[in-house]
């Protein structure tokens, strides 16, 4: 299913904004050791997931044109959607229900030849940007879900 959204920040851009916010919160948490900041980091990860899938009609399974041979996914229940912007750029969003799979997801992408362009890891999850095989991947993982926002580069 293809969806076109206008007037909203694209999922990839939202992920970058939230990664920057989490990168700001982590040093504060390290210095203060404050559980409230750790909770905020968890909220940022969950918010990033909700933002990435907001407004999308997620279907059971992968979108038919998802680059499954190039972008490895963690095991779990999969839902996905694809969207095309005004310039014809395809973006796939895949939500995998998987417990504590953020590190596994990032490692699978690294093992497949992707390179990290930015990453933040907390007790609450993983936010990372990776590139490889002609794709850019925004990886957002909480303790129970992993979202892949994949665009061709």
DSSP 8-state symbol, 125: E
Rounded to 5 degrees, what are φ and ψ at 101? -110, 10
> Could you give the CA distance from residue 136 to residue 16 in angstroms, rounded to a whole number?
12
pLDDT at 19: 54
3-state SS class at 51: helix
Q: Structural domain tally of the chain?
A: 1
> Could you give the CA distance from residue 93 to residue 66 in angstroms, rounded to a whole number?
9
The pTM assigned to this predicted structure is: 0.75
Q: Which domain holds residue 72?
A: 2-152
pLDDT at 95: 96
> Could you give the CA distance from residue 74 to residue 115 in angstroms, rounded to a whole number?
17
> Could you give the CA distance from residue 41 to residue 21 in angstroms, rounded to a whole number?
9
- The most distant pair of C-alpha atoms in the chain lies apart, rounded to whole Å, by 47
The domain that holds 9 is classified in CATH as 3.40.1000
Residue-wise pLDDT tens digits, 37-90:
455 556 778 878 888 888 888 999 999 899 999 999 999 999 999 887 778 888
Do residues 19 and 127 lie in contact, with contact meaning Cβ atoms separated by under 8 Å?
Answer: yes
């Amino acid at each position: 299913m293809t969806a076109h959204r206008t007037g909203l920040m694209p999922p990839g851009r939202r992920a970058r904004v939230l990664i920057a916010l989490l990168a700001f919160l982590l040093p504060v948490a390290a210095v203060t050791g404050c559980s409230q900041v750790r909770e905020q980091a968890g909220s940022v990860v969950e918010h990033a997931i909700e933002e990435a899938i907001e407004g999308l009609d997620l279907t059971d399974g992968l979108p038919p044109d998802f680059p499954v041979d190039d972008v490895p996914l963690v095991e779990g229940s999969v839902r996905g959607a694809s969207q095309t912007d005004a310039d014809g750029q395809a973006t796939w969003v895949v939500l995998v229900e998987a417990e504590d799979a953020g590190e596994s997801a990032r490692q699978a992408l690294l093992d497949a030849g992707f390179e990290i362009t930015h990453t933040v890891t907390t007790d609450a999850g993983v936010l990372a940007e990776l590139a490889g095989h002609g794709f850019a991947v925004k990886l957002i993982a909480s303790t129970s879900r992993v979202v892949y926002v994949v665009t061709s580069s």
